[in-house]
Copies of this chain bind each other. A is one copy, B any other.
Amino acid sequence: MASASLKRPLDILVIGAGVSGLSCARELLRRSPGISLSVLEANDRVGGRTLADSEGTDLGAGYIGPGQDHILAIVEELGLKVTKVYTAGKTTQCLHDVVSYYQGLVPPISPIGTIDLNTAMQEMERLVNLCDMNDPRKTPNAVELDRTTVQQAIEKLCWTSEARSVLRTAIRAIMCAEPCEVSTLGLLWYIKRSGGTRRIFETENGAQDSKVVGGYGIVAPMMAARLPAGTVRLNKPVRTIDSRDATTVTVTCSDGERFVARTVVLAIAPVQQLRIEYLPALPSGKMQALQQFKMGHIIKTFTYYDTPFWREKKLNGSAVCDDGIVVVSMDDTKPDGTLPCIMGFVLTDQATKYATMSTAVMMEALGAHYAKLFKDERGRRPLRIKRKNWSEEPWVGGCYTSVPGPLCLTVHLTALEAPLAEGRILVAGTEVAKVNSGYVDGAVEAGERIARNALVKLGQLPSREYDVMITPPPSKLLPLTPLEYTWIETHLPSMTSFIVAGAASLVGVAAFLVTRWW
């Protein structure tokens, strides 16, 4: 062991062979083909939070959408295809224990609830628009918004329990956390970087538009295979990063092997950065920041049937449920119709509840859930299930991404992104992406940008390229088209105007009655 220390130091050592680390390595070699480079991966596989099993089922990140041009460029380069998520038919909603089906965007809630939800969504969109994309601290009322939990915001925004429930469910599904755990500014910024409220929630033309044929999880292994042989080292958990020397950084793995590099890129989630021992010790701001960004809490499940019975009933398999084991489900049947399957997200308290339960118990609960949602007893008879509890992955810690709690953005973000050791240790990973943070696309953006930052540091790129996001040309695979608003969304009165109008009508009716009868 430790022979590397006797050799010339590596130019760059990337820690983490998830999509961000691999994108970083790819960009480094593209920009500087002669660079010496290694990528260390703690796990026995590459891919991080993306993972496809032998059936091409995405146990991790599964969806790709228009506007995600960083990852789309890679998917295209790798010669992969994408396929639309099945959306033919009606979507299922279970709200306050009542199941209903609907087409389009307006979930079937009461007229008052609809007005209320629409008002709240418009207000959220207004706040998202005000949010400063590059520096969330420059958002109007940033401190106040960052001290307010999303639960508080929902309570303030919504008048009806229906609208509250719909919003709470939507936010749980996008953050894998409870609204009371998330900073309002954190949520707004997250949505902003994902292209807005519509883009983040939508399937068609939204973040859940498509899937990669063969699995999103095959992208990372394919990227790794295109790196020079021996670049990626598996089963190399990093235990110590020593930057006490002025020009090099020495990285020691669990097994004692040492790597010496001029620059180190941390392409791992904040909580995993926290687990490493640093010499010298981390500055206090970084130590605090790394404690704030905990990972979301999710078990991704797949329930297989002998037939996609929901399609017979003109249901698309997409379902949102405000209570029960699965919050959001989607049809995950293969494009050729084989392996009929419903994918379901089991989140937060339900993830805690089912984490220790047997597969049989979980299969029964999933079956009962889908039987209820699709109003079909065949739901109760799944052939088998798959499940992936991402909090059990020691080198990940949770999914989809880090949850921005109160104060995360206004107090801790700067330290989270900050390099260490005068720029010899840089930070990548989807959490620090300038767009689509939390998505695979953000992992690519951050990885590529930090690669260029490293090359600037090494004098191989001009300093004007430091920390500049470069967006690939718009993808032809999934072109970005504007989202259209329905007439009802743009013309529905707000809750306030509804109440004012209601009060005015009452006065009018009263006046009418008075003049008629008295």
Contact = CB atoms under 8 A, between A and B. Distances in A.
Interface of A: 147-149, 151-152, 178, 180-181, 237, 239-240, 254, 256, 271, 274-278, 281-285, 287-288, 291-292, 294-295, 297, 299, 348-349, 351-352, 355-356, 389-394, 397-398, 405-407, 411, 415
A284 B149 contact: no
B180 A407 contact: yes
Contacts of A147: 151, 178, 180
Binding site secondary structure of chain A: mixed
Given A239-B254, A256-B256, A274-B274, A351 B411 contact: no
A281 B393 CA distance: 7
Nearest to A276: B275
Contact of A281 (B256, B276, B285, B392): B392
B288 A352 contact: yes
A473 B254 CA distance: 47
Given A239-B277, A284-B389, 7 more contacts: A239-B239, A275-B275, A275-B277, A284-B299, A288-B297, A288-B391, A292-B294
Closest 4 CB pairs of A and B: A284-B391, A291-B294, A147-B180, A281-B394
B281 A407 contact: no
Contact of A181 (B271, B282, B349, B406): B406
Given A285-B356, A389-B284, A411-B349, A394 B180 contact: no
A151 B393 CA distance: 34
Contacts of A275: 274-277
A391 B180 contact: no
Most chain B beta-carbon neighbours within 10 Å: one of A178, A284, A285, A393? A284
Contact of A285 (B256, B274, B355, B415): B355
A294 B291 CA distance: 6
Within the oligomer, what is the number of copies of this chain?
A: 2
A352 B349 CA distance: 33
B288 A398 contact: yes
A287 B278 CA distance: 22
Given A151-B147, A256-B256, A405 B407 contact: no
A121 to B, nearest CB: 22
Contacts of A352: 284-285, 288, 411, 415
A307 to B, nearest CB: 32
B394 A277 contact: yes
Contacts of A391: 284-285, 287-288
A349 B240 CA distance: 29
Contacts of A277: 237, 239, 254, 275, 394
Contacts of A287: 391-392, 394, 397-398
26 contacts: A147-B178, A149-B152, A149-B180, A149-B406, A180-B406, A181-B405, A181-B407, A237-B277, A239-B239, A239-B277, A254-B277, A274-B275, A281-B392, A284-B390, A285-B352, A285-B355, A285-B356, A287-B394, A288-B295, A288-B352, A288-B398, A291-B397, A348-B411, A349-B411, A352-B415, A405-B405
A292 B239 CA distance: 22
A147 B406 CA distance: 13
A480 to B, nearest CB: 35
A180 B143 CA distance: 11
Contacts of A389: 284
Contacts of A181: 405-407
Contacts of A406: 149, 178, 180-181, 405
Contacts of A178: 147, 406-407
A147 B172 CA distance: 14
B283 A356 contact: yes
Nearest to A295: B291
Contacts of A282: 392, 394
A418 to B, nearest CB: 11
A282 B393 CA distance: 8
Nearest to A392: B284
A248 to B, nearest CB: 19
A502 B352 CA distance: 50
A122 B407 CA distance: 29
Nearest to A406: B180
A240 B240 CA distance: 13
A117 B284 CA distance: 35
A415 B180 CA distance: 20
